[in-house]
Structure 1
């Protein structure tokens, strides 16, 4: 078993390096934010047993969502917005897991094995109370000095899905091979945390090494509306459709509301509470590979995400109450009919007795 350990560590190093390259982040100039979505509250409704994570949007048709223009993260101005259209974001939970749907119009672009020439999506959540949306947490420390102590309170939780090796409709994310980190060597749907753009790590890894107790809690799948096969693709079917076809990308993601994290690397969600959230999208425009800092986002600041408790429960309660009320009304109506019939019978009997000849009782 020992002979495989160096090979595993080599693969892990390569995987971590590729992750760092994908997330390269270079910012120049002064950054400013004038968010037009300050009053928007995303809502994760309670809808158990509705969605299957397969990339298909059919089950979401009755779930409300929000449309957001996609603006460049480092230069959030409408003039440079993503030209393909807006991103629709929907969310729900079943009391155990939270589920997201990201829907973005875009011509089909896919280059197998090259993540940067395929669309990519990410979610980000605040963990630490001081964590800012801008600069992925906003800790001022450099890569040489950022640690879980020097950047305590600036943690953000990230999920990133690069689809260059992911088959449409197939499930990716946490797998047995990558247990101990937030990695996913099969589909690159990775579970990440950061303190700033230059201090980002797979769950379980960090500046002090690995803790070997983390896991990738996310699962997800993707789809494009131009696909005409619904029975399922395999790897040999790549590129799955012709590049340039107009349509819509769909990304579905799920994760437990609460995880086994003990190192401030996962956001923890609670029904009835509000979390801070954002979503991002990368696209290889004009066939050119995207770079890490060239992504679009749905807002230039955190957006509140409300986890609604009892939405469907209230509906169910109302239905149950209505059923009980209907039963009570039916019983009362039946009782009234029986009482009325009984009254008619009694009155009829009394009337018949009054018609009989009166006979005075003789005294003894």
Structure 2
């Protein structure tokens, strides 16, 4: 199934993708147990209603789920993002799955500077043993993680940096190593790679199956997007 992605706003997520992605180090022990029904997002079958242009209008009648935003390295509730929740919506048309991510709050953006622009990442479980915490949860370290030693811990990653991305333009697809929206895979935070790139012996087609666009309600509307207060 080809997965497509619609992005309307963004979660700041410091995550620079190159041929290999540098890992982060957590400040202490922490774990996440997500066996609650409240953690699940349902994608209903609604064909032919979503256009990948960054506009929110198509999603007005679709129910969403709200989630608190907390820093990845120190997810204490005292450090929660104060300006609002992240709303996530999903649906499918029998062939593609569509997501909307929307975050309230002040708009911060420096055109052309990926270190001063928001970005977003989505992670999907692929392997049966993959966990949310530790990005797949494989115990191997850099240099020893392969598709054999970490089998069953695979996760799929989509990463969208808007530093040079034009609002409303569709990005993604094709070669995963180029453009602001890339497709990656991982077994843990130390072992993250773009599709088609990675340790010797790993096989990937290298194609980016994600597509997405972004928009912000503070922009002057010249594209047909409705601006909602």
Q: Structure 1's 190 and 162: CA in aligned 2 closer, same or farther, altered over 3 A?
A: same
1:227 to 191, 216, 219: 219
Partner Cα distance (1:32, 1:156) in 2: 17
* Aligned residue runs from structure 1 range 26-37, under 5 A: 26-33=25-32
Report the TM-score when normalising by structure 1: 0.54
Partner Cα distance (2:202, 2:129) in 1: 25
Partner Cα distance (2:92, 2:200) in 1: 35
* Aligned residue runs from structure 1 range 172-183, under 5 A: 172-175=171-174, 178=175, 182-183=176-177
Structure 2: tracts of 5 or more residues without a match:
1-16
> What's the secondary structure of 1:79's corresponding residue?
helix
* Aligned residue runs from structure 1 range 1-364, under 5 A: 16-17=18-19, 20-21=21-22, 24-33=23-32, 38-40=36-38, 41-175=40-174, 178=175, 182-183=176-177, 185-186=178-179, 188-208=180-200, 211=203, 213-231=205-223
Report the TM-score when normalising by structure 2: 0.84
Instruction: Note if contact 1:91-1:100 (Cα within 8 Å) is conserved in structure 2.
Output: yes
> What's the secondary structure of 2:42's corresponding residue?
strand
Instruction: Note if contact 2:194-2:206 (Cα within 8 Å) is conserved in structure 1.
Output: no
Q: Specify which structure has the bigger relative contact order, considering alpha-carbon pairs within 8 angstroms and separated by 6 or more residues.
A: 2
Q: How many residues align?
A: 209
The structure having more radius of gyration, on CA atoms, is 1
Deviation, structure 1 residue 210: 7.5
> What's the secondary structure of 2:103's corresponding residue?
strand
Q: Structure 1's 61 and 167: CA in aligned 2 closer, same or farther, altered over 3 A?
A: same
Partner Cα distance (1:217, 1:32) in 2: 30
Q: Deviations over 1:177-221 (max 9, x none)?
A: x2xxx22x23x2111100000100111111117757320000000
Report which of the two has the higher share of helix: 1
Deviation, structure 1 residue 25: 1.2
Q: CA RMSD in A?
A: 2.2
Instruction: Note if contact 1:122-1:159 (Cα within 8 Å) is conserved in structure 2.
Output: yes
Q: Structure 1's 132 and 33: CA in aligned 2 closer, same or farther, altered over 3 A?
A: closer
Partner Cα distance (2:37, 2:142) in 1: 35
Q: Deviations over 1:273-306 (max 9, x none)?
A: xxxxxxxxxxxxxxxxxxxxxxxxxxxxxxxxxx
Deviation, structure 1 residue 113: 2.1
Instruction: Note if contact 2:86-2:101 (Cα within 8 Å) is conserved in structure 1.
Output: yes
Instruction: Note if contact 2:32-2:133 (Cα within 8 Å) is conserved in structure 1.
Output: no
Instruction: Note if contact 1:91-1:101 (Cα within 8 Å) is conserved in structure 2.
Output: yes
Q: Structure 1's 49 and 101: CA in aligned 2 closer, same or farther, altered over 3 A?
A: same
Corresponding position of 1:279? none
> What's the secondary structure of 1:59's corresponding residue?
helix
> What's the secondary structure of 1:125's corresponding residue?
strand
Instruction: Note if contact 2:54-2:168 (Cα within 8 Å) is conserved in structure 1.
Output: yes
Instruction: Note if contact 1:33-1:76 (Cα within 8 Å) is conserved in structure 2.
Output: no
